[in-house]
Amino acid sequence: MGYDTAAKTDPESVVPDEFGGMWFLKDELGTSELGLSILELEPDGKGKEHDETHTDQEEVYYVVEGEIDVDLTDHDETVTLSTDEAIRLDPEESRQLHNRGDERAKLVLVGAPL
């Protein structure tokens, strides 16, 4: 078949409901090089601080709803993204997502090897 479909709720969330949720769709979509995830963060929720040097992938974060801070921890800098804004990050860029707003934030995360 030339295509695959998936829903956010096909895989189980790797983040507890009380913090929002995170669903990895790579396996459900059968992608070999491209990672696709949905992340929802409740107010004051944080993602894991990390870089992608071990996978050598760049990532793009697109905000579907809400506002999110991308803390660039190696540079002590924060980039704030609102609905319909995106950021691309190099693999070695250490980052942490933080919802400092009053409403749940929803993002689409995409990653692929360089």
Query: What's the pLDDT tens digit per position in 14-69?
Result: 998 889 999 999 999 999 999 999 999 999 999 999 999 999 999 999 999 999 99
State pTM to two decimals.
Answer: 0.93
Q: Collapsing DSSP states into helix, strand and coil, what is residue 50?
A: strand
Q: Does residue 114 register a pLDDT over 70?
A: no
Q: How does residue 108 score in pLDDT terms, banded at 50, 70 and 90?
A: very high
Strand partners, 107: 39, 63
- Give all domains of the chain, ordered by start, each with its CATH number: 37-113 (2.60.120.10)
Strand partners, 105: 41
> Above pLDDT 70, what percent of the chain?
98
Q: Does residue 70 register a pLDDT over 80?
A: yes
